[in-house]
Structure 1
Amino acid sequence: MLREWDNLPTWMKCPEVKEYYDILAKRKLSLRIKRIFDIVVASVLLIVLVIPMMVIAIMIKLDSQGPVFFRQERVTSYGKKFKIHKFRTMVNNADKIGSAVTVDGDNRITKIGSKLRNLRLDELPQLLDVLSGNMSFVGTRPESTKYVKKYSKEMRATLLLPAGITSEASIRYKDEAKLLDKADAIDKVYVEKVLPEKMKYNLESIRKFSFFKEIVTMFRTVFAVAGKEYR
C-alpha cells in the first residue's frame, strides 16, 4: 500500500510529509493486514447487504427524480482522483446549485435522503470503493478536488493512505452540517476553520496508526451513529 518515497508525486515529497511517511514505513505489516481486512469484510458485507441496498435504491427512485447513486470526483491516496459511490440523498444535480458541503436543513436533501444520512446508510455503496482500493474502512474522508488544493503541506500526508469511510474526525464532526448551518460563507468557513480542525485528528491517527486502533474506530463509529456523544 505504501509506495517507495522516490515514487511519490513531487508535490508530496516535502519534510512535512516525510515525518508521517517514516512512521507508516515502519508499520507495513499492519498496512497489509488493513488491506486484507478491507477486501474480506467489504466482500462479505456486499453479499449480506445486497437486498437491503436494492430496497434503498427503489425508495430513492420513488422519492425523487434522478439516478440512484451520487457520483462526485474525490481525491484519495497520492492525489488519485476517483468518483465516489454514494446513494443519492439530494435532488438531482445538487452539486451545481449549492456548496460542495452540506448544511443542516439543506433544502436540497430529499425526504428519503434525510433518513439515509442520519443512519449513514447513504455510504453503503462505498463498499465498492473499498474493494477497488480507492477507499478503506478507516481513513481520512475523501475531499473534493477544490478542497484538496487548499491543503497545507502537512495535510498532504493524509494522502499517503486511501481515503476512508469513517475516521476519528468523522466521529467528532458527525454533526458538521449543523456547524456550517449558521455560516454566511460556507466554503470559506469550511476551509479556514472546520477542515484544519478535522485534519488535526486525521494526522494524529497517522502518528498513532495501528490496525487495532482502526477496529476500535469502526466500533466507535457504530456507537456514534446510534447516538453516543464523544467529546
Structure 2
Amino acid sequence: MSRVLGANKLKYGGQNQKWLILLGSDDYDLECAKILLNHLPSRQVVVLSSCLQLVAKLVKNNPQVIDGGNFDILSNLEHHSWAGIILGAKATLSDSETLSLIKLKLNYVPVYHICDVWESLWLKLPPSLLDANWFVASSRFQYANFLKFKRLIDILVSMLLLIILLPLMLLVAVAIKLDSPGEIIYSQLRNGRNGRVFKIYKFRSMYTDAEKTGVKWTSIGDSRITRIGYWLRTLRIDELPQLWNVLIGEMSLIGPRPERPEFDVKLKNAIPYYQLRYLVKPGISGWAQVLYPYGASVEDAYEKLAYDLYYIKNYSLWLDIVIFFKTIKVVLCGKGR
C-alpha cells in the first residue's frame, strides 16, 4: 500500500483473521462488495446486512463469503479477531450497533468507510459509488494552502519550458506546414475552472476539414489525423502550445484535462458529480492521463472522473510531482493518443 498518496492505508491483519463487511440494503453496497471481494486477501469474509437477500446473492457466487446474518448479532462479534471492518455507505446502524463498532476500534480493529477502501486500493473515487457526505467531510483538501505556490510553479516552469522547447516547437511548425495545408496552431473552446470557457491552443494534428460532419471524439486509427499528427499525439507534442495557457493563468501544468463544452453537456447529465472536476484549474496532464489510457466514450469519461476526484481530494505538491514524472514516462514510452 506504499503507492497510496495521501489516502488511508489498509492494514490486512493476521493470516487467519477474517474481514467483516457491513452492508446496507440496496444495490449500491452490493456492487461495492462484489468488487471488494476480488481484491481482499484470500481469506474468509463475514458479511452482515439489513437485507438478507443481498447477502444471499454474495454467498451464492463467492465461496469465501460467510453469511453472518443481520446487524442484530453484531454485539456477539465484538470479541472476535478481525483483520478489519468495512462499513458500507448505505449501512444504517442503531446506537447499540454503533457502540459495538466503537468497542472493536478500541480493541485496535481498523474500521474503514467503503470509500476509504476505494481510495486506498485503486487511487480513484468512482462517482456512482461515491458517498457525498464522506467526500465533503474529508480531512484532506489542501487546495487553499497550495494554490499560490502552485501558481508560482506554473509560471516559472512554463516559462522555462517555452524557452527550452522553442527549437523543437519551430521544427514541429515546419513539419506541420510541409505535411498538410492549414494553420500550424489552432484553438478550441474548453471549459475551465468554475465552468469558465477559454481557448486552448494545440499544434494541428488533423486535416483542416476534420470536423465538417460535426464534433466527435478522436478514435484509434482516426482517418482525420495527419501523418505528422500521429507522432505529435503519440509523443504529446501537440499539447506544447498550452504552456501559453498555463503562463496566462487559464490552465495549470497539472490538473484534470479540460473538456469541450459540446461534450460536457452530455457528460454532466450522464455522470454524477461530473462538475466537481472544474473546481480546480484544468491541466496539460493529470492523474487520469497517467493512469488511464486514452478514451473516447461516456464510459471512459466516467473512469477518468474517478481519477480526477481522487486528485481533487488529495490535491498536493507531492501528488503533482508524481504526475509530472509519470507524464515524462508516458511521453518517453510513446503512450500518447
Structure-1 separation of matches of 2:178 and 2:284? 27
> Alignment partner for residue 143 of structure 1, among 259, 268, 272?
259
Q: Which amino acid aligns with 2:234?
A: N
Structure-2 separation of matches of 1:228 and 1:49? 18
> Alignment partner for residue 19 of structure 1, among 129, 136, 151?
136
Whether contact under 8 Å (1:136, 1:162) holds in the other structure is yes
Normalising by structure 2, we get a TM-score of 0.56
The SS at the match of 1:96 is coil
Whether contact under 8 Å (1:16, 1:153) holds in the other structure is no
Structure-2 change in CA distance of 1:219 and 1:136 (3 Å):
same
- Consecutive aligned runs of 4 or more in structure 1 exceeding 4 Å deviation: 15-18, 20-23
Structure-2 separation of matches of 1:136 and 1:169? 15
Q: Which amino acid aligns with 1:164?
A: G
Matches within 5 A, 1:112-191: 112-149=228-265, 150-151=267-268, 152=271, 154-176=273-295, 180=296, 190-191=297-298
Normalising by structure 1, we get a TM-score of 0.80
Residue 227 (1) aligns with residue 333 (2):
yes
The SS at the match of 1:83 is strand
Structure-2 change in CA distance of 1:194 and 1:75 (3 Å):
same
Structure-2 change in CA distance of 1:197 and 1:20 (3 Å):
farther
Structure-1 separation of matches of 2:261 and 2:317? 28
The SS at the match of 1:94 is coil
Structure-1 separation of matches of 2:294 and 2:277? 22
Q: Which amino acid aligns with 1:130?
A: V
Shift of 1:93: 3.2
Whose radius of gyration is greater, 1 or 2? 2
After superposition, give the CA deviation of every residue in 1:159-178 in whole Å (9 maximum; x if it has no partner): 111111111211233343xx
Q: Which amino acid aligns with 2:289?
A: S
Q: Which amino acid aligns with 1:40?
A: L
Structure-1 separation of matches of 2:170 and 2:293? 26
Residue 57 of structure 1: aligned partner: 173
Q: Which amino acid aligns with 1:103?
A: S
Structure-2 separation of matches of 1:153 and 1:175? 21
Matches within 5 A, 1:20-99: 24=141, 26-97=142-213, 99=215
Structure-1 separation of matches of 2:216 and 2:254? 22
The SS at the match of 2:211 is helix
| Higher RCO (C-alpha under 8 Å, 6+ residues apart) | 1
Structure-2 separation of matches of 1:97 and 1:70? 18
Whether contact under 8 Å (1:70, 1:86) holds in the other structure is yes
Unpaired runs of 5+ residues, structure 2, are: 1-130
Structure-2 separation of matches of 1:22 and 1:77? 23
Q: Which amino acid aligns with 1:167?
A: G
Q: By percentage of residues, which structure has more helix?
A: 1
Shift of 1:139: 0.7
> Alignment partner for residue 100 of structure 1, among 216, 222, 226?
216
Residues matched between the structures, number: 201
Structure-1 separation of matches of 2:198 and 2:334? 32
The alignment yields a C-alpha RMSD, in angstroms, of: 2.4
Percentage of identical aligned residues = 37
Unpaired runs of 5+ residues, structure 1, are: 1-14, 181-189
Structure-2 change in CA distance of 1:49 and 1:20 (3 Å):
farther
Shift of 1:98: 5.2
After superposition, give the CA deviation of every residue in 1:90-119 in whole Å (9 maximum; x if it has no partner): 000313335431111101100110111110
Whether contact under 8 Å (1:87, 1:123) holds in the other structure is yes
Residue 194 of structure 1: aligned partner: 300
After superposition, give the CA deviation of every residue in 1:65-102 in whole Å (9 maximum; x if it has no partner): 11001211110101111111000000003133354311
The SS at the match of 2:176 is helix
Shift of 1:208: 1.1
Q: Which amino acid aligns with 1:173?
A: Y
Shift of 1:20: 8.6
